[in-house]
Amino acid sequence: MWRYIETQAGTVFAGFGFFEIRPPVLEKSKLFQRSIGEHTDIVEKEMYTFADRKGEAITLRPEATASVVRAYIQHKLYADKPVQKFYTIGPMFRRERPQKGRYRQFHQINAEVFGAASPYADAQLIFMLTTFLERLPVTDTTIHINSLGCRECRPSFKEKLFSFFQKHRADLCEDCRRRLERNPLRILDCKGEGCRAAAADAPVMTDFLCRSCHEHFDTVTALLKDRGVLFEVDRRLVRGLDYYTRTTFEVQTGRLGAQNAIAGGGRYDNLVGLLGGPDQPAVGFAVGLERLVELLRQEQKFSGKSGVTLFLAALDEISQRKVFEWMCQLNQRGISAEMSFAAGSLKSQLKQADKLGADFVLMIGENERTAGAVVLRDMATGEQRDIPLAEVVPTVLEILDDTRKR
């Protein structure tokens, strides 16, 4: 299923003009401190950071965007093309409390667009994400979307937020009290009861957006509406990383309990500049692979099951030898064929074939050997046909080819 999801991502993303990039899992700690932000949960509590042999602080990446940006700057990828689109798939590491859907090593599929400030880029990226989810298919999801403003308009919002939470200081958790002065936005994201209650009446960024941020947000939402993408404007969505500007979004589902976020992303127009590159706007997202796997499992919509095309049932040892030969020849030609290594009764082998979701089952025992032909059953139609012993492999290949063409 993992491979299936990754293949779908690769196919969909390639259609939208994205190229794969594979940054390393280890980076200098400073990269994450500067990009994600010193006063975020990830940097304050969750990073796996240690000193290498020369005493340099390095970190197992907690997310991919910072690494992709580092590569983009270091290899001057901005010089190749004005707009660059990348995706990457791989493990991330965060020292969180492990629970269902939340792991210390997990996997993300990331997509990033560099060099496009236009709201069309945001809309296309979100449209690509929904296309990918529909294709899996992962359904019953909601996109929550908000704008976090820009360098021009966010400071006045931060000030308002600061004075608002200052009045509710006593209700805030210890972390949020500490963060109040440096990063009051984080309080909106805190799951603590007191903080949530205090945040309920807090000012919202959308009331502070400057004209161009307003226009940007309105265009993104209008484009999504035009494309039939369903979303909810969520004026409290801030997300746990500091680098976001303007559009931020999260895809949520009601099917995963507490860990309800499948994907998250947004615009980060200042990050490339902040990390020492040219001023290049960017927008991206990350999808959690484990959560997609869980959803597909729950919905049992993963039609490929284990993807077995042919199950070869052998009723005695001599037949087993024969079946082994055919299986190997078919496997060699890329056909997913399986057999039972412990030749049990026909009934138990048919059960096994059914569990594997085999499209065809081939049966051979002493009678078939004497008659010189095996039986091939199409599991979808129940149709059976005899195939001469000497022609099993070419005939099976022909039948599979015909089925594919149909």
Amino acid at the residue 104: R
- Cα–Cα distance, 311 to 338 (Å, whole number): 5
Cβ of residue 241: shortest distance to ligand AMP, in angstroms? 7
- In the block, tokens 């594979």 appear at 22
| 288 in contact with ligand AMP (CB under 6 A) | yes
Select from 4-12, 20-28, 95-103, 325-333 the region that touches ligand AMP (CB under 6 A). 95-103
Contacts of 44 (CB under 8 A, 6+ apart): 38, 175
91 makes contact with ligand AMP (CB under 6 A):
no
Phi-psi region of 378 (alpha: psi -120 to 50; beta: other; left: phi over 0): beta
Q: In the range 235-274, which residues lie near ligand AMP by CB under 6 A?
A: 240, 261-264
What is the distance between the terminal CA atoms of the chain, rounded to a whole angstrom? Answer: 25
State the residue for tokens 């004209």.
211
196 contacts: CB under 8 Å, gap ≥ 6 = 190
Is position 23 an interface residue for ligand AMP (rule: CB under 6 A)? no
> Residues 45-74 vs ligand AMP: string with x where CB under 6 A?
------------------x-----------
Does 96 interact with ligand AMP (rule: CB under 6 A)?
yes
Of positions 290, 294, 338, 368, contacts ligand AMP by CB under 6 A: 290
Q: Which residues pair with 102 in a beta bridge?
A: 99
Q: Closest CB to ligand AMP among 234 and 290?
A: 290
> Hey, which residues between 198 and 237 contact ligand AMP (CB under 6 A)?
none
Token readout for 121 is: 């880029």
Closest approach of ligand AMP to the CB of residue 159, in Å: 26
Per 3-state DSSP, what percentage of the chain is helix, strand, and coil (rounded to 5)? 45, 25, 35
In angstroms, the CA 136 to CA 291 distance is 13
- Is 102 a binding residue for ligand AMP by CB under 6 A? The answer is yes
146 binds ligand AMP, rule: CB under 6 A: no
Q: How many residues sit in the footprint of ligand AMP (CB under 6 A)? A: 17
Type of residue found at 283: V
Helix (H) or strand (E) run with residue 400 in it: helix 392-405
Decide if residue 144 touches ligand AMP (CB under 6 A): no
Residue of the chain from 291, 302, 343, 353 that contacts ligand AMP (CB under 6 A): 291
Q: Which is nearer to ligand AMP, 286 or 327 (by Cβ)?
A: 286
Question: Given the rule CB under 6 A, which residues bind ligand AMP?
Answer: 63, 94, 96, 101-103, 106, 108, 240, 261-264, 286, 288, 290-291
